[in-house]
Amino acid sequence: MINVALDGPAGSGKSTVAKIIAKKLDILYLDTGAMYRACGLKCLSSGVDVTDEKRVNELIGKIDLEIKYVNGAQVTLLDKKDVSTDIRRPEISMLASTVSANPFVRIKMVEKQREIASSTDCVLDGRDIGTYVLPNANFKFFMTADSKIRAQRRYNELTERGEKVDFDKLHEEIKQRDYNDSHREFAPLRQAEDAVLIDTSFISAEQVADKILSYIKGK
Ligand code: DC
Q: Are residues 76 and 65 in contact, defined by beta-carbon separation less than 8 angstroms? A: yes
Q: Are residues 178 and 188 in contact, defined by beta-carbon separation less than 8 angstroms? A: no
Q: Is residue 217 part of a domain?
A: no
Task: Give the residue numbers spanning the domain of 8.
Answer: 3-206
Q: Is residue 59 part of a domain?
A: yes
Q: Is the dihedral of CA 125, 95, 89, 156 positive or negative?
A: negative
Q: Is residue 218 part of a domain?
A: no
The whole-number pLDDT of residue 163 equals 87
Select from 127, 132, 190 the residue to mutate for testing ligand 1; criterion: most ligand atoms less than 8 Å from CB: 127
Q: Is residue 49 part of a domain?
A: yes
Taking Cα atoms as reference points, which of 95, 28, 121 lies closest to residue 67? 28
The pTM (predicted TM-score) of the whole model is: 0.96
Q: Is residue 101 part of a domain?
A: yes
Give 123-158 pLDDT, tens digit per residue: 999 999 999 999 999 999 999 999 999 999 999 998
CA separation, residue 172 to residues 16, 91, 147, 161 (Å)? 22, 13, 9, 21
Give 193-218 pLDDT, tens digit per residue: 999 999 999 999 999 999 999 999 99
Taking Cα atoms as reference points, which of 156, 141, 131 lies closest to residue 212? 141
- We report the CATH number of the domain holding residue 53 as 3.40.50.300
State how many domains the chain has.
Answer: 1
Distance CA 47, CA 59 (A): 11
The whole-number pLDDT of residue 90 equals 87
Q: Is residue 114 part of a domain?
A: yes
Q: Is residue 109 part of a domain?
A: yes
Order the strands of the 73-78 sheet from edge to edge. Answer: 65-70, 73-78, 81-82
Q: Is residue 216 part of a domain?
A: no
User: Which one-letter DSSP state was computed for residue 131?
Assistant: I
Q: Is any ligand 1 atom within 6 A of the Cβ of residue 10?
A: yes
Element (H, E) at 75: strand 73-78
Give 27-64 pLDDT, tens digit per residue: 999 999 999 999 999 999 999 999 999 999 999 999 99
Q: Is any ligand 1 atom within 6 A of the Cβ of residue 130?
A: no
Select from 7, 14, 16, 32 the residue to mutate for testing ligand 1; criterion: most ligand atoms less than 8 Å from CB: 32
Select from 3, 7, 95, 97 the residue to mutate for testing ligand 1; criterion: most ligand atoms less than 8 Å from CB: 97
The whole-number pLDDT of residue 215 equals 96
Measure 187 CA to ligand 1 centroid, in angstroms: 11
